[in-house]
Homo-oligomer: A and B are copies of this chain.
Amino acid sequence: MDRKVTLAHGDGGELAHKLIQQIFVSAFGNQSESRFDATFLSLSSGKIAVTTDSFVVNPLFFPGGDIGKIAVSGTINDLSVAGAVPYCLTVGFIIEEGFPLADLRKVVKSLAVEAEKAGVQVVAGDTKVVEKGGADGLYINTTGIGLQREESTIDPSRIASGDAVLISGPIGDHGIAILAARGELGLMTDLESDCAPLNHMIDAVILGGVDVKMMRDPTRGGVATTLVELAEDFDAIIELEEEKLPIRDQVRGASDLLGFDPLYLANEGKVLFIVSESDRQKTLELLHQFPEGRDAAVIGRVTGKGVGQLLLETPLGSKRRLHRLSGMMLPRIC
């Protein structure tokens, strides 16, 4: 087999057949694609959740992950925060001619490992090759199917005054790790991306009986944009306490230096919860049992209903309103 991907790997002929057999089938152990154009699945439940995401992260390999890991995490987390149990994934690759086959193998392996950790099957795949210059190495689409959880209490219209807002860990790690990996920081950091599938941790919170009213993963646009959208969609007034935001020193330092606000930095392994006030402590305890939730914190609360808005209370007690991310901050973060 050649050592680089060629256009012939994508044209449906002999080389494409070999690529599928040697790289994809061996990683995912799934022969079905060679026999049918679609894969059949038997579902125990009649209600499914569907989500899709394309990944164009740059660089493809970064501290804490790679595009394969993020392609699994992103879609698993989208299903999980919607209150579904992730069941299976499809994967579509767009590969630039000349891309090293060794790198493709690494990405596919990483994708397979994360899918296995998360307990989901990769059930269908597709590969396209474009000419040199037609893509930046490799792009991946994953589409996820999940089963609706019967225990799910999620319903953001139930958000009420007094509800607690929690985050499962420090914010902004992914954004700064990617920037550093691009060499755009001008400073060294040992920071790793937080990207990880969170479905097992979310399972524990739901099955632990917490009255979860809302979950979101604050990816593009960060914690602020995610909560502004939520506040506006469900007419809630949400107040965050600046002092309580978990932010690593490296993220704070880099943000100060470069003029970023960590509240707008992307996260790929964090989840925001809004839960009943009475379940605040229980949620924290459940999250703290997981490595991904070790630094979980209560960061604010819902203070009322009305014209939806997100407010930030500073350590001095003043409050300022936060808005959606506007204009370009960091392209190709996922």
Interface residues of A (CB under 8 A from B): 6-8, 10-17, 34-44, 46-56, 77-79, 81-82, 84, 88, 90-94, 123-126, 128-131, 133-136, 139, 141, 143-146, 148, 156, 216-217, 219-221, 225, 229, 233, 266, 323-333
Contacts and interface: CB of A to CB of B under 8 A. Distances in A.
A82 B331 contact: no
A328 B56 contact: no
Find the residue from A77, A134, A221 having the highest chain B CB count within 10 A.
A134
Contact of A37 (B16, B51, B145, B328): B51
Given A10-B331, A34-B233, A136-B134, A52 B16 contact: no
A134 to B, nearest CB: 5
A327 B94 contact: no
A7 B37 CA distance: 35
Given A11-B331, A13-B225, A16-B220, A143 B90 contact: yes
A80 to B, nearest CB: 9
12 contacts: A13-B326, A13-B327, A14-B324, A15-B327, A39-B49, A41-B49, A43-B43, A43-B48, A52-B141, A126-B141, A131-B332, A135-B135
A122 B139 CA distance: 22
Given A12-B220, A331-B130, A50 B34 contact: no
Contacts of A52: 90-92, 124-126, 141, 143
A49 B35 CA distance: 13
A38 B146 contact: yes
A79 B326 contact: no
A97 to B, nearest CB: 8
Given A40-B148, A48-B48, A51-B37, A94 B139 contact: yes
Contacts of A81: 37
Contact of A328 (B8, B92, B94, B128): B8
A129 B143 CA distance: 18
B40 A220 contact: no
Contacts of A14: 323-327
B225 A124 contact: no
A41 B233 CA distance: 21
Contacts of A328: 6-8, 11
A329 B50 contact: no
Find the residue from A13, A148, A233 having the highest chain B CB count within 10 A.
A13
A153 to B, nearest CB: 14
A226 to B, nearest CB: 9
Contacts of A78: 37-38
Give me the 3 closest cross-chain CB pairs, A-B, nearest first. Answer: A12-B220, A13-B325, A12-B221
Nearest to A13: B325
B134 A325 contact: no
